[in-house]
């Protein structure tokens, strides 16, 4: 993997942004930076996301006709294993060069640690455990999920243990607390008890 694409991932986790774009930015602002080469997907009249290949930007709104409110941004790192060098998109490739087909969570974590950007493990969603594990950067509200165990029926065949699945922001403290509560309930504990 080129040092430049590693720098992209480190910056995304450190800042919770993609090329300076925040999850709350409008569709027009994202298009100014990322360009107009995207697939737009709508879920009813109140949810939309734009897929730039590697990066996806998601928006919600209260009602049809209302302005879009930024919801989250995710980097679908697992898609790189398909071997399409154009997948990251022209804007990211122009800035960061070639993207390798895999991103090692261990390597990413070491680079973040060297820069004083700690990651804290948070409980995985029950449907994903134990195949995936997720670590959270509390300062940038960014989560990194990676393959922790293979399951021939549920883990994509082109991924290896330790490969990053995706990076997502924001993942709020409230979302982390909810995950912790769900995990504790599944283990028969009550986090609210004195």
| Mean predicted confidence (pLDDT) in 70-91 | 95
Is a pLDDT exceeding 80 seen at residue 193?
A: no
Task: Provide mean pLDDT across the span 50-57.
Answer: 98
pLDDT of residue 194: 54
Closest to 146 in 3D by CA, of 99, 79, 78: 78
**% residues pLDDT > 70 (the chain):** 95
Q: What is the pLDDT of residue 86?
A: 94
Q: What is the mean pLDDT of residues 186-192?
A: 71
């Amino acid at each position: 993997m080129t040092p430049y694409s590693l720098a992209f991932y480190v910056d995304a986790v450190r800042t919770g942004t993609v090329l300076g774009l925040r999850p709350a930015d409008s569709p027009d602002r994202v298009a100014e930076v990322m360009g107009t080469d995207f697939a737009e997907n709508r879920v009813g009249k109140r949810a939309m996301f734009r897929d730039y290949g590697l990066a996806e930007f998601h928006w919600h709104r209260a009602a049809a006709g209302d302005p879009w409110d930024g919801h989250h941004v995710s980097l679908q790192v697992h898609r790189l294993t398909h071997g399409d060098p154009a997948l990251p998109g022209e804007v990211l490739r122009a800035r960061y060069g070639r993207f390798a087909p895999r991103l090692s969570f261990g390597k990413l974590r070491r680079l973040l640690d060297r820069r004083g950007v700690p990651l804290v493990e948070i409980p995985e969603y029950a449907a994903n455990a134990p195949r995936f594990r997720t670590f959270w950067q509390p300062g940038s509200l960014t989560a990194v999920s990676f393959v922790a165990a293979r399951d021939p029926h549920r883990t994509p065949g082109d991924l290896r243990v330790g490969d990053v699945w995706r990076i997502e922001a924001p993942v709020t403290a409230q979302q982390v607390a909810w995950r912790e509560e769900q995990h504790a309930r599944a283990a028969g504990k009550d986090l609210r008890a004195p």
